[in-house]
Each structure stands twice: as C-alpha cells, then as structure tokens.
C-alpha cells in the first residue's frame, strides 16, 4: 500500500541544476578554483557542504570558510530562482495525481529551507505539500537515506509505503537505501542511461505517467 510520495526538489520540481552550476561556478571561480563542468557532475544530488568539500579536495584554498562560500552560493541562488527559475513541465499535474489518490505529499531536498521556500513560493506550489524538509537537518546528506527516512517519519508513514521521485543517481541511491519505491525522472535523453535502471520506474516526462504505472508501483514487493 502506498501512503505517501516524497519529491526531491532540484531537477524534479524546478529545472535548477543549471542555476546551481551558474552560482557555484561564479563563487568558486572568485576564490581561484578552476571550475570544470565535467567534474561538477559528481556533485549533482549531494548537499552544499559535500559539494564544497568535493571542490576543496580537488583544489584546496585558503582564507574563506565553507560557511562563507555556502552563504555566497545561496545568495546567488535566491536571485537566480527569482529571475530564471522554471517549473518542470507536467509537475503540477503529476503532484495532483497523487493528491487525488489521497496520499500525503512531502518534499525532501538537499537544499536549505530558505531555498525550498523560495522555489515553492516562486512556482506557487507550496499549498501542494504536507511537508518541506531539508537534509541540512541531518548529519549525512544523500546518498545516505536519512533525509527520506526523516521525511517519512514526519509524515507519519512507513518507509515501505513511500514513493520517492528523484532525478539524480545519489538521490535514487538514498531512496532505495531507505527501502522506498523510486521513480527516476530522466528528461533530455537521460532515460536511455542504463545507470538508472535500478529505479522502479523511469520517466522521460511527467506527462508519461499513467494509472497503470501507479498500480505497478503499488503491487511491487
């Protein structure tokens, strides 16, 4: 029995991965880091602290703390969300499908609450969610399952009765480690990537989701 759906935010609700790259590239470049787009793929789906730590291990710097870098990235993201943030096609209808089923709807993101609220306010989606939760509250970010397990607990449901909607490899690992059913949202050609075949369902578009897919997920053991 499925009782709840927990959504990731970045890349699922909003097409924010390009915004994160823009913000991070500007900040890291300003402190002398040679930002590489290919290397940056390793940080998709992990929290900001782990992202900063990744770049520090690649190219150590002096004179500025993780917290200061994080604050600069978040400040840039607030502006970019407001000026460039776009909702992913089909997401309102996709969320409404589950709401019509009477399921609890949660959001569990590696982003801080200030950005979660900014995104949901900007996209006018806040009323669709029963819970907003940030991995900042956890000791470990994705791919550790803590953020999803805590979200399930706060929603009052068992992990086994949850579906997670994710777009990143690390996020999907976290969902499966939490023993939740996982939907991989893989637009822009990502659907063909066999790396994500361990997900329970893959979607190239939210508009592709059908009643039969929901029944399939319900019946999975």
The residues annotated as belonging to the active site are 8, 10
Bridge partners of 132?
A: 107
Residues for the chain: how many in total? 221
CA 134 – CA 113 distance, rounded (Å)? 6
Three-class secondary structure assignment of the chain: CCCEEEECCECCCECCHHHHHHHHHHHHHHCCCCCCHHHHHHHCCCCHHHHHHHHHHHCCCCCCCHHHHHHHHHHHHHHHHHHHCCECCCHHHHHHHHHHCCCEEEEEECCCHHHHHHHHHHCCCHHHCCEEEEHHHCCCCCCCCHHHHHHHHHHCCCHHHEEEEECCHHHHHHHHHCCCEEEEECCCCHHHCHHHCCCCEEECCHHHCCHHHHHHHHHCC
CA 176 – CA 171 distance, rounded (Å)? 9
């Amino acid at each position: 029995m499925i009782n709840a759906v927990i959504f990731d935010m970045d890349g699922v609700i909003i097409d924010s991965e390009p915004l994160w790259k823009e913000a991070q590239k500007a900040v890291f470049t300003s402190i002398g880091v040679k930002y590489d787009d290919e290397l940056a793929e390793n940080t998709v789906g992990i929290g900001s602290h782990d992202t900063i730590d990744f770049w520090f291990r690649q190219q150590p710097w002096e004179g500025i703390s993780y917290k200061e870098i994080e604050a600069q990235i978040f400040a840039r993201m607030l502006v970019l969300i407001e000026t460039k943030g776009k909702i992913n096609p089909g997401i309102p209808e996709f969320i409404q499908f589950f709401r019509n089923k009477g399921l609890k709807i949660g959001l569990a993101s590696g982003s801080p609450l200030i950005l979660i609220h900014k995104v949901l306010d900007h996209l006018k989606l806040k009323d669709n969610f029963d819970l907003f939760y940030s991995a900042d509250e956890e000791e470990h970010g994705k791919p550790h399952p803590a953020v999803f397990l805590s979200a399930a607990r706060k929603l009052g449901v068992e992990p086994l009765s949850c579906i997670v909607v994710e777009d990143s490899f690390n996020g999907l690992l976290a969902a499966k480690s939490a023993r939740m059913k996982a939907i991989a949202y893989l637009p822009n050609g990502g659907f063909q990537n066999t790396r994500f075949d361990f997900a329970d369902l893959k979607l190239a578009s939210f508009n592709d989701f059908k009643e039969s897919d929901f029944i399939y997920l319900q019946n999975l053991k």
